[in-house]
């Protein structure tokens, strides 16, 4: 039976932990990456352009021995020139896995429903689970553990934050969020993550004051205030997020040795200052690199293992 990865909860907690362990092992042994996708092809279907998601997945597939086909919005016009279910069913006959980067999360759900090969959510407006894998991997690298850490998130309650709290809640990382009124995270996702956090010895906190949430933080995370597609709201958002900048003064309020994360691209001088981005606490480039290793582990788990299972099943019936 095929597995999809549309949100963090699609993985059991133990699977999530093992995936992070595997990503770390693949990073350490990059020179001898197993060719588990040899003879396999993965399609990247991107309604939204991306540097990190595209390159990390392409390199991940290639290093695992597979081939990649990139299809941008101009190639498919998903849901406009052709129905989502038609694209999903036809591509499933050609390739062994699909990475979808889309707008509405309903597109990802419909795509996965009709695809007969594993579908990975490379980003939707609701969640960004692949980014969260790299985020928690980077935290684990920096501190040697996840359980008991505190992460502070400053800014918009967006798709990046949604997946971050879903992952942290399951791994015992407490998250304190500072967001202005009207920009809090999705209520249903917050409620579910809060329940998960309580089960795993962590907590979630939502406040308006960035100074309040960074106290005692091991990690401070921020993201752009104006994401792709939100350009018409730019002036309004800049007013709303005034006072939410991650700068040296805010960083000083956190725990000594606190690290800085940003999923990129960054608008330097807006949500984060250049000196913080370039300073010793910044793990931003490591975080970006870890997208590659997390993607490799995910591809191996979803496509490599499914192909191995299918092969074993065929052998039993011969």
Active site residue 81: no
Catalytic residue among 128, 262, 293, 295: 128
Which residue in 47, 54, 105, 131 is the catalytic one? 131
CA-CA distance, 237 to 87, in Å (whole number)? 36
CA angle 187, 188, 190 (to 5 degrees): 65
φ/ψ of 262, rounded to 5, equals -155, 130
Q: Is 286 a catalytic residue?
A: no
To the query of whether residue 263 is one of the catalytic residues in this protein, the response is yes
Burial class (CB in 10 A: 0-12, 13-18, 19+), 232: exposed
Question: Residue 70, SS3?
Answer: strand
Catalytic member of 237, 291, 293, 295: 291
Which one of the listed residues 125, 156, 218, 223 is annotated catalytic? 223
Distance CA 267, CA 260 (A): 15
Asked about 131 being catalytic, the answer comes back as yes
Query: Which candidate in 101, 105, 162, 237 is catalytic?
Result: 101
The C-alpha atoms of residue 242 and residue 203 are separated, in whole angstroms, by 27
Q: Which of 237, 263, 287, 307 is catalytic?
A: 263
Cis status, amide bond into 217, omega within 30 of 0: no
Active-site residue list: 101, 128, 131, 223, 263, 291
């Amino acid at each position: 039976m095929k597995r999809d990865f549309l949100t963090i909860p699609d993985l059991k907690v133990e699977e999530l932990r093992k995936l992070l362990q595997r990503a770390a092992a693949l990073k350490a042994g990059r020179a001898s990456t197993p060719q588990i996708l040899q003879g396999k092809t993965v399609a990247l279907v991107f309604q939204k352009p991306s540097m990190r998601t595209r390159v990390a997945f392409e390199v991940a597939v290639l290093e695992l021995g597979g081939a990649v086909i990139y299809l941008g919005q101009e190639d498919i016009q998903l849901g406009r020139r052709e129905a989502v279910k038609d694209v999903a069913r036809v591509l499933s006959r050609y390739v062994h896995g699909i990475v979808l980067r889309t707008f509405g999360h309903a597109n990802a759900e419909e795509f996965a429903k009709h695809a007969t090969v594993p579908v990975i959510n490379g980003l939707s407006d609701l969640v960004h689970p692949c980014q969260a894998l790299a985020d928690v991997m980077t935290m684990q690298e920096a501190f040697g553990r996840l359980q008991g850490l505190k992460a502070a998130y400053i800014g918009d309650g967006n798709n990046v934050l949604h997946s971050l709290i879903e992952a942290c809640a399951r791994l015992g990382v407490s998250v304190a969020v500072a967001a202005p009124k009207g920009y809090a995270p999705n209520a249903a996702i917050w409620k579910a993550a809060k329940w998960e956090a309580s089960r795993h010895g962590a907590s979630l906190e939502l406040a308006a004051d960035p100074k309040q949430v960074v106290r005692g933080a091991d990690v401070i995370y921020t993201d752009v205030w104006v994401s792709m597609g939100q350009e018409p709201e730019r002036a309004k958002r800049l007013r709303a997020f005034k006072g939410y900048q991650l700068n040296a003064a805010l960083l000083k309020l956190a725990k000594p040795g606190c690290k800085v994360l940003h999923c990129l691209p960054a608008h330097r001088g807006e949500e984060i200052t250049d000196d913080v981005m370039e300073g010793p606490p910044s793990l931003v480039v490591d975080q970006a690199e870890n997208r590659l290793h997390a993607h490799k582990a995910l591809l191996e788990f979803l496509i490599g293992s499914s192909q191995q299972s299918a092969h074993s099943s065929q052998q039993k019936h011969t």
